[in-house]
Amino acid sequence: MKGRLTALAGPSGVGKGSVVAAVRRRHPEIWLSVSVTTRTPRPGETDGVEYHFVDQPEFDRMVAAGELLEHDAHLGASYGTPRAPVEAQLAAGGSALLEIDIEGARQVRAAMPQAHLVFLAPPSFDELARRLSGRGTESPDKVRERLDRARIELAAEDEFDAVLVNDDIERAADALVALMTTPEALE
């Protein structure tokens, strides 16, 4: 594999999707892996764009067949990264960006030790709670579950090659692109 694999991870609500959207808007040449999930699409999400939406039996089949580079189940849904498109992108000499969770990043590190892992952190835990509540896409119980998980995930920061604080989406996107395009930035 000749290309560079970068995995962006962080707790739910930290703004991974917003930062990646800003990167893609400004740098459409950066290839982003589209994950699979068993969760229901949120309003405005399109199959094959934000996620590949599959049912649990299909997801289980993909896991059993070794088709996922990483996978995890939490908050009642399963998530994973299709292996073949990532490997094809890297083999062609291109860079690949993954937007995944903490457990997924650990699996990517085990499967592809040369991958560069970037942790996206919130400016504060209070801000993370505000963002999760402000989305308005989940019940208060789901928000509490996500915050409980975030407390644990924030402690994983030192497992990563770089840490970006998402206090400004455009600045965080620029910093991520710099890390992806400047190999020595993570060495």
**Sequence-distant (≥ 6) Cβ neighbours of residue 129 within 8 angstroms:** 13, 143, 147
Give the model's pLDDT for residue 13.
84
Set out the domains of the chain in order of their start, with CATH numbers: 5-186 (3.40.50.300)
Give the model's pLDDT for residue 2.
57
pTM comes to 0.87
pLDDT digits (tens, 9 = 90+) for 103-147: 999 999 999 999 999 999 999 998 888 888 877 677 888 888 888
pLDDT digits (tens, 9 = 90+) for 25-47: 988 889 999 999 999 998 999 99
Find out whether 52 and 82 touch, Cβ atoms under 8 Å. yes
Sequence letter at residue 126 = D
Question: Once rounded to an integer, what is the mean pLDDT over residues 3-8?
Answer: 91
Give the model's pLDDT for residue 111.
94
| Dihedral (Cα; 64, 67, 71, 73), 10-degree rounding | -50
pLDDT at residue 17 tops 70: yes
Give the model's pLDDT for residue 185.
53
Sequence letter at residue 141 = D
pLDDT at residue 163 tops 50: yes
Give the model's pLDDT for residue 1.
39
**Which carries the bigger pLDDT value, residue 95 or residue 68?**
68
